[in-house]
Amino acid sequence: MAGGKGGSSGVSDRVAAVAAWPVQRIFGLLEYPLAAIQRSVGISRMPWIFLLPNLAFFGIFVVVPLFINFAFSFTGGTELFLGNRVYTGTEQYEFLLDCETFGDPTTCREDRFWKGLYNTAIFIFFQVTFLVLFSLITALILNREIRGRGFFRAVFFFPVLLSPVVVALIWKWVLLRDGILNAFLVSIGLDKILFFVSPEWSMFWAVFVSIWAHMGFYTLILLAGLQAIQPDLYEAAEMDGASKERVFWRITLPLLWPNMLVVIVLALIKGVQIFDEVFVLTGGGPGTATQFIVQYIYNTGFTEQVQNFGLASAASVVLGIILFVLTMTQLAATRARDNG
């Protein structure tokens, strides 16, 4: 038996060596140029060389557009190229922020921007709260020794692999007047519900579908955090006779907090950016009940006959500031909590 095991190990070692050969050859080719670069820039600067491709990608596709967007927000007209556009100063911002009462979007000149902001605030409040809660509960359950654990982990993660458009279309078919859910309601003697005609139902399903689609990803992050907690802490707590609730509040949650923070920040940012799923699912309706801020920006910049890139850019900058403030507040609160 032992000999057999040794034999199989020998074969696998040889296979690994054969497989590694081309990889070594390829990386061997890189050795000479890299050595030359190291000689010219010095070893301490080599990390920058390795980061360069990613930095260039990030710079071209994120930083440069960010500055262009910022510049666009101070211009007006319908010309596409910055050089041809009319400088308007802070006019677009003044227009966006021109409100009699900020609590009532109908008193604002650009009412749809404010409706988009309020809708987004409502959406992220419910979506982030329940997303984190359900992800935590699911991660706690999947961390236990339950039957079919691997299967359930795959089941919860599967929606993450789907395109947001596919997710929205699937749920749209479920929720339409003649969809599966209404067929079920009729089969048990209830009336059909026109989900997409009701603002409340539309918002509910926008939140629900978003949680359904993304929960698996956040569950995975929390599961990784739970598995990193040393089992001997739980053993010690058990020996001390600590209750399950006390173990959760005193050991699990504090040690899981760094992962929770990642989940909350990511969920918050993704929540503010919500667009594609809801756009396909409800189209922003009924009326403007599920029109979120990103859809407002898209509509303003692209779907109207006058494509108002200046106003759309100004709204993007405002959105960026909101996201920055939210993230910083969250990080500051966490730092204060850790220090306290």
Partner 1 sequence: MKYKIAKLLVASSLAATLMTSTALAETELRMMWYNDGNEGEVIQKIIDRFEAENPDISVVLDVVPYKSIIESLPIQLAAGEGPDIARVTDLGGLGKYYLDLKPLVEDSAYWEESFGPFLNWLAPDSDQISGFMTQLTVTGPYVNKTLFEQAGVEMPGEGATWDDWATATNAVAKKLDIPIPMAWDRSGHRVAGPAIAMGAKMFNAQGEPALVDDGLKKMSQRLYDWHQDGTMSKELWGSVSGSTYLGANEDFANAQVVMYMSGSWQIPQFADKIGDAFDWWAVPAPCGDAACTGMPGGAALVALKDTEHPKEVAKLMDFLAQEENLAEFYGETLFIPGHLKLATGGVDFATDDPRAKHALETFSGAVPGISPVAFDLQGYKNNRIMFNALISRLNEAIVGELTMDQAYERMEDDVAKQLAEKERN
82 binds partner 1 (CB under 8 A): no
What's the token pair of residue 256?
């899981």
Rank residues 219 and 282 by Cβ distance to partner 1 and give the closer one: 282
Closest separation in Å from C-beta 78 to partner 1 = 6
Tell me whether strands 86-87 and 75-76 are parallel, antiparallel or unpaired: antiparallel
CB 214 within 8 A of CB 156: no
Candidates 17, 49, 133, 197; binder of partner 1 (CB under 8 A) is: 197
Task: Spell out a b/e string for 247-271, using b for 16 or more CB atoms within 10 Å of the CB, else e.
Answer: beeebbeeebeebbbebbbbbbebb
Give the per-residue contact string, 294-333, with partner 1 (x = CB under 8 A; - = no). -x---x--xxxxxxx-xx----------------------
Direct distance between the N- and C-terminal alpha carbons of the chain, in angstroms, rounded to an integer: 59
- Bridge partner residues of 99 (DSSP): 108
**Tokens in use for 139?**
């991660």
Could you say whether residue 90 binds partner 1 (CB under 8 A)? no
Q: Is residue 210 involved in binding partner 1 (CB under 8 A)?
A: no
**Would you count residue 80 as binding partner 1 (CB under 8 A)?**
yes
What residue type is 20 in one-letter code? A
Per CB under 8 A, which region of 132-140, 190-198, 216-224, 227-235 contacts partner 1?
190-198
Burial grade of 174 (CB within 10 A; 0-12, 13-18, 19 or more):
middle
| Least distance in angstroms from the C-beta of 200 to partner 1 | 12
Of the pair 98, 238, the CB lying nearest partner 1 is at 98
What tokens appear for 204 in the block?
A: 């509910």
What binding mask, one character per residue, do residues 29-68 give for partner 1 by CB under 8 A, x or -?
----------------------------------------
- Binding segment for partner 1 (CB under 8 A), chosen from 61-69, 75-83, 158-166, 329-337, is 75-83
CB of 50 to partner 1, least distance (A): 35
Number of residues that bind partner 1 (CB under 8 A): 37
CA distance readout (Å), 46 to 27, 35, 43, 183: 17, 10, 5, 63
Q: Which residues contact 198 (CB under 8 A, 6 or more apart)?
A: 286
Q: Is 88 a residue that touches partner 1 (CB under 8 A)?
A: yes
Q: Which residues bind partner 1 (CB under 8 A)?
A: 76-81, 86, 88, 106, 109, 111, 177, 194, 196-197, 199, 282-291, 295, 299, 302-308, 310-311
